Amino acid sequence: MSEVADNYDELSLWSAPFGQLILERVPLRRGQTIVDIGAGTGFLTIELAQRSAAARVIAVDPWAEAMEVLRRKVAYLGLTNVELLVSDAAVLDLPSGSVDVVVSNLGINNFDNAETVLTECHRVLRPGGRLLLSTNLVGHMSEFYDVLREVLDDHEQLDAHVSHRATRDGTLALLTGAGFSASVSGTGSFTMRFADGTALFDHYFIKLGFLDGWRTIATAEELTAVEEEFNRHGEISLTIPMACFEGVRG
């Protein structure tokens, strides 16, 4: 995984639209403590630390190699207000009620134990503290999945794969279940465009983030058929719906 972390340029390309939803809404005040859950190589951590220089920003992620990349960025930029915790967010080494803001840019997508993580976020937030998290939603890359559906004979696995994406109501329920007063604070979408199917399947981030999942629901021959179908039509535009959710601790 260290090689991935060292060459993860696509992180900001993918993360930035989601992170912007958070950056447009996160409180930026002197002296506050902000925790970035699932910080990875630090896109959101670095932005928050620079935009709120008198704040304390704590980056949390179990991915040690990515956190080492973030450590080098922090040193290079001379940031003195960033702390790194290589840790699972399900158990935060922080006192209860000690945090003003928790952010998570796409982090909830990767939590196997989202309920536990959100409950822990609720614990460390002070009363009135805010949680802001971004996620892609069901309907993600529907243009791709519509073509895949035409190729597949059995749609059961495809339906399960597509439906595991976050939904508005499901995410609000998760936040409410963890004790937050929850709302949708922003929505939007962006597109990823490719010249054809071959460009799509050869793209580094597609191979890193999606191809293994597609291989669990389709054979190599079926994926080749999807690629060829896209090649017949030329340019592809895949839509990524996204949302920012806010939770307030009472």
pLDDT digits (tens, 9 = 90+) for 102-140: 999 998 777 778 999 999 999 999 999 999 999 999 999
A 10 A CB-CB count for 17 gives: 16
Per the structure, the count of domains in the chain is 1
Tokens 């207000």, residue located:
81
Mean pLDDT taken over the chain: 92
pLDDT digits (tens, 9 = 90+) for 140-166: 999 999 999 999 988 999 999 888 888
**Phi, psi of 121, deg, nearest 5:** -60, -40
CATH code (residue 16): 3.40.50.150
Sign of CA dihedral 190, 195, 201, 204: negative
pLDDT digits (tens, 9 = 90+) for 218-227: 999 999 999 9
Task: Decide if 56 contacts 45 (C-beta within 8 A).
Answer: no
In which band, very low, low, confident or very high, does the pLDDT at 8 lie, cut at 50, 70 and 90? low
**Alpha carbon distance 16, 23 (integer Å):** 10
pLDDT of 10 over the 60 cut: no
Query: 104: closest CA among 131, 137, 76, 71?
Result: 131
Query: 36: closest CA among 5, 74, 8, 3?
Result: 74
pLDDT digits (tens, 9 = 90+) for 171-198: 999 999 999 999 999 999 999 999 999 9
Q: What's the pTM?
A: 0.91
pLDDT of 9 over the 90 cut: no
Domain that holds residue 78: 2-249
Residue 23 has a pLDDT of 96
pLDDT of 62 over the 90 cut: yes
Q: Which residues contact 229 (CB under 8 A, 6 or more apart)?
A: 147, 150, 151, 197
